[in-house]
A and B are shown apart, each in its own frame.
Chain A
């Protein structure tokens, strides 16, 4: 991670609480390790028929982080928002690795149940990642919204708050992004 910072955690936390969102970014490497370990633990245990919930993972990482650093987040959703990127990275890396090893990216995953995505069948995470990248090229904010909702488990309101846009915008972008992703992935 290029975000590695040498600044003490407390200082970064202070800065972030004071409104410096880059400070939170700098904190993320600390979370990354936890998140990655948790995700891999779950993925390793994975057996056919089981699913992994990204929200639960992010949550557990949050709990561990706040316990360890003894901090309290005013807005927990911020933490999730930043973690969502990491989550995506970890899961997609894993899926790509698996695909390389087994020629099969069939990782069963419930990305985020909060947005009612009961993945009725296995989702091709690599295809999802590709589609999402393409969407971000067309509309970076829309891509980010999907990432926050999918991998971070943020609600419409939380997403809107985090991005500083109106809930109506998030809702609109989200609905249309779903159509886009569906089409891209059914093609893949």
Chain B
């Protein structure tokens, strides 16, 4: 071969270019003329031109439309009928399967496969995996095969409808419809991700909307085979468009494919399910706004946008997009995969919540609180349920991997206040009540510490992240969820999140009638239990398995309202709690938990001197006894009874027995530990008391009542300085805390610092809003007595005022 010189090359360049401009059929004639008499020149030109053909399947891969198959062509036993379209994955034909007598879609893949056996093998593997994805939101793959020239094809179900891309040309999609479609997409993706299959090339072209409203994901798992992960779109287009792109000109339409790819994929990094989440976010963004999330004039601009820019707020282009939806989309589109939702199931969960919120409900609804769309909720529920079931049934493998990836067992748990998504603030008590119930249910389980309701309530509607909350409560895992109530229908959605990894271990939705609500709660509790893998003791199992009796919605309602108020432990709230519990009992006299809760509330009323102790303890005993008659396994009734035996009867062995039984049945009830701790302190079993107090504080770290009363063993063991040390600074942050003040005053009195004791008393009285006139008189008198008679004067004066003050010795 002649050595190439610059001159020779210049000439050859010209000839080559001219030849390329011509249709292939005319090239030979042109070259005959242009290279006449120069055989070696001609040979080289030919060889270079043929390298272009070679390039198609190797280096400079460009897609060239092939001659379409004609109707009647046989592919395996399939009959080709007509060309449906051509796209990135090759051409799609309508075909017929005579064996099963059904119409199918046949997709013939780009020829790049035919001369690469390794690739072909991987394609078949991948197609098999994708075919195993049997999900209503994933197009069903029936078969794979190869044409005579070795080009593989995929046979799938034939769909009637349009791609999302086609749908989007008509403009943005309404919010509610978008939620629906997004949930379907999430559901399909979840099923695939569970099997370890990542789509890698989600885009509107790959989402098909059938005429009956279903969304189907196409081309699962094929992306990584057909193209490099960074998906140059020459393959997504054919004919003139591909040429345009090959020339590198600005072709807005062409930039699209790239526009859905996450930064890590652009950079060529590892791709996982979070990459699909990004793409899904970009698609949802486009559905809502009608605009691409990332789109630049040139390819480089698009890359730049994906790597560095956040798309404009959705509310700019579509004011009806609720902020909660915007947040979900943003989170999907985080540049850093770690900042995104970790699983598509989390996305579904978040979407489910907005689909229930009134802001996404139609504006026409007169009362958003009552006009609740059960269809949407049902769909959401079913979607999540299907996902959850698939998750459960998935034979071990992924679940196992998931497990081993997580760090150890869950030994402590907090149930965050369930969110009231009914859109009606009046249902707040219902959500809170359900939270309490769930806590109670879970608290009965051994080996897992479950945080009490008072300590989780501050996290209601918090902006803190789950991991922050878990850190504040010192727990391994968190249960969060929502409650939706519409008339007598109720739906609970719950998920379990492992704090250390922020991983969602489990999510599920339950629904039924209010009458079955205990069963629903039980189901939730059972699922959580299964997940935290507590070894159930026989009696625990029995408790979870005990027959679930239906209760009247009215009784249950009243009961929840009672729980809501009793948790506050103020005089007014306890009064209300009594009323509601009594109402519940009236409406369903066999509803044992209402009796038990009433018994505990009366116990508190006695302890906090809200009612005359004798009377309160009497009622507590009656209620507890009644509760235990119906259900002897109610821990709450046992510790209420113990409190009575201790405080009223001074029956210490009896109290001890009941306390132990209560804690055995319900090891996670803070009140049981607290009361037992107070009993032990009075019995001078200081160390044991400290241990119980410690447990109570762990279970209810943010309850001021628990925190204050936990100082009881300090008082009984005469560690006054430690009380002062602890209470004085705490009182500064909450000057109205009467119990704390009581402990501090007592400690000052015991240490003989009466001047300070007077000061604290006065502060307390002022904080309690007592009559200033009377206070001034009282404290002037007290100070005078004290200065004249010293200690004796103080005590005398104090005795006189006893009874007029709101607070006296709760012990």
Which A residues are closer than 8 A to B by beta carbons? 42, 45-47, 49-53, 55-57, 59-60, 63, 76-77, 80, 108, 110, 113-121, 123, 137-139, 142, 149, 153-158, 171-173, 175-176, 178-183, 185-186
Contacts and interface: CB of A to CB of B under 8 A. Distances in A.
A172 B248 CA distance: 13
5 contacts: A49-B229, A113-B231, A120-B61, A178-B60, A179-B16
B682 interface: no
Given A114-B248, A118-B61, A172-B17, 4 more contacts: A49-B224, A49-B229, A55-B300, A60-B267
Nearest to A134: B4
Contacts of A186: 51, 54, 58-59
B247 interface: yes
Contacts of B230: 51, 53, 110, 113, 118
A138 B16 contact: no
B248 A56 contact: no
Interface of B: 4-6, 9-10, 12-13, 16-17, 20, 47-49, 51-52, 54-55, 57-62, 112, 116, 224, 227-235, 242, 245-250, 258, 266-270, 298-300, 303-304, 307-308
Given A50-B269, A155-B248, A155-B298, A121 B58 contact: yes
Given A53-B268, A138-B4, A182-B60, A155 B51 contact: no
B57 A120 contact: yes
A63 B20 contact: no
Nearest to A182: B51
Contact of B303 (A42, A59, A138, A154): A59
A175 B51 contact: no
A56 B267 contact: yes
- Dominant secondary structure at the A interface: helix
A52 B268 contact: yes
A105 to B, nearest CB: 15
Contacts of B308: 63
Contacts of A46: 268
Given A53-B230, A60-B307, A116-B232, A183 B246 contact: no
A101 B58 CA distance: 26
A179 B48 contact: yes
Nearest to A115: B248
Given A172-B13, A182-B52, A118 B249 contact: no
A114 B299 contact: yes
- Minimum-distance CB pairs A-B, first 10: A116-B234, A114-B299, A118-B232, A182-B51, A183-B51, A51-B268, A138-B9, A179-B48, A113-B232, A52-B268
Given A114-B299, A116-B234, A176 B13 contact: yes
B511 to A, nearest CB: 44
B300 A139 contact: no
B266 A178 contact: no
B6 A139 contact: yes
A46 B60 CA distance: 22
Contact of A176 (B16, B62, B112, B242): B16
Given A56-B303, A113-B299, A116-B242, A178 B55 contact: yes
Given A60-B307, A120-B112, A183 B232 contact: no
A98 to B, nearest CB: 16
A41 B248 CA distance: 28
B118 to A, nearest CB: 9
Contacts of A178: 52, 55, 60
A137 B249 CA distance: 28
B174 to A, nearest CB: 35
Contacts of A179: 16, 48-49, 51-52, 55
Contact of A121 (B116, B229, B234): B116
A55 B258 CA distance: 13
B59 A139 contact: no
A138 B60 contact: no
Contacts of A108: 228
Contacts of B20: 175-176
Most-contacted residue by chain B among A156, A179, A183 (CB, 10 A)? A179
A14 to B, nearest CB: 25
A121 B227 CA distance: 9
Given A50-B229, A183-B51, A138 B6 contact: yes
A118 B300 contact: no
A118 B248 contact: no
B269 A45 contact: yes
Contacts of B304: 59, 63
B300 A114 contact: yes
Contacts of A63: 304, 307-308
A176 B61 CA distance: 15
B248 A51 contact: no
Contacts of B307: 56, 59-60, 63
Contacts of A118: 61, 227-228, 230-232, 234-235
B13 A149 contact: no
Contacts of B298: 114, 155, 158
A151 B229 CA distance: 18
B48 A180 contact: yes
Nearest to B56: A120
A176 B17 contact: yes
Contact of A110 (B10, B60, B232): B232
A120 B9 CA distance: 28
Contacts of B266: 53, 56
A117 B242 CA distance: 12
Contacts of A172: 13, 17
A157 B249 contact: yes
A38 B229 CA distance: 19
A55 B20 CA distance: 28
A76 B308 CA distance: 15
Given A56-B268, A110-B228, A113-B230, A153 B51 contact: no
A54 to B, nearest CB: 10
Contacts of A137: 6
A118 B12 CA distance: 27
A64 to B, nearest CB: 11
A181 B58 CA distance: 12
A154 B304 CA distance: 13
A129 to B, nearest CB: 14
B7 to A, nearest CB: 9
A51 B16 contact: no
A55 B269 contact: no
Contact of B229 (A51, A114, A139): A51
A57 B300 CA distance: 11
A4 B228 CA distance: 37
A77 B246 CA distance: 19
B232 A42 contact: no
A37 to B, nearest CB: 14
Most-contacted residue by chain A among B59, B247, B307 (CB, 10 A)? B59
Contact of A155 (B116, B232, B249, B268): B249
Contacts of A181: 59
B51 A55 contact: no
B245 A116 contact: yes
A108 B738 CA distance: 71
Nearest to A184: B51
B299 A155 contact: yes
Contacts of A185: 59
